[in-house]
Amino acid sequence: MSLAGEVCLITGACGFLGERIIKLLLEEEELTEIRLLDRDIKPDLITSLKESQGHTKLTVFEGDIRDPELLRKSCHGATLVFHTASIIDVIGLVEETELHGVNVKGTQLLLEACIQENVRSFIYTSSIEVAGPNPQGDPIINGTEDTRYSCCLKFPYSKTKFQAEQLTLQTNGEFLRSGDKIATCALRPMYIYGEGCKFLVGHMENGMRNGDVLLRTSTKEAVVNPVYVGNVAWAHVLAAKALKDPKKRAAIGGSFYFISDDTPHMSYSDFNHEVMKPLGFGIQGRLSLPLPLLFFISFLLEMAQVLLSPFLKFNPPMNRQLLTMLNTQFTFTYGKAQRDLDYTPRYCWEDAKTWTTDWLASVLPKQREIVRAPKHP
| DSSP secondary structure, 99-132, as one string | HIIIIIIHHHHHHHHHHHTT--EEEEE--GGGT-
- Which pLDDT band holds residue 376 (cuts at 50, 70, 90)? low
pLDDT digits (tens, 9 = 90+) for 212-271: 999 999 999 999 999 999 999 999 999 999 999 999 999 999 999 999 999 999 999 999
186, 256 in Cβ contact below 8 A? yes
Percentage of the chain modeled with pLDDT above 70: 99
Q: For residue 28, what pLDDT is reported?
A: 82
Q: Output the CA–CA distances (angstroms, integers) from residue 32 to 48, 56, 149, in the order listed.
A: 18, 5, 43
Q: Give yes or no: 268 in active site.
A: no
Q: For residue 375, what pLDDT is reported?
A: 67
Cα three-residue angle 94-9-197, rounded to 5 degrees? 45
151, 131 in Cβ contact below 8 A? yes
Q: Count how many residues are written for the chain.
A: 377
pLDDT digits (tens, 9 = 90+) for 106-159: 999 999 999 999 999 999 999 999 999 998 999 999 999 999 998 877 788 999
Percentage of the chain modeled with pLDDT above 90: 80
**Candidates 124, 157, 228, 343; catalytic one:** 157
360, 279 in Cβ contact below 8 A? yes
Q: For residue 339, what pLDDT is reported?
A: 97
Q: For residue 30, what pLDDT is reported?
A: 83
pTM over the 0.85 mark: yes
Domains in the chain: ranges and CATH? 7-197+226-265+330-348 (3.40.50.720)
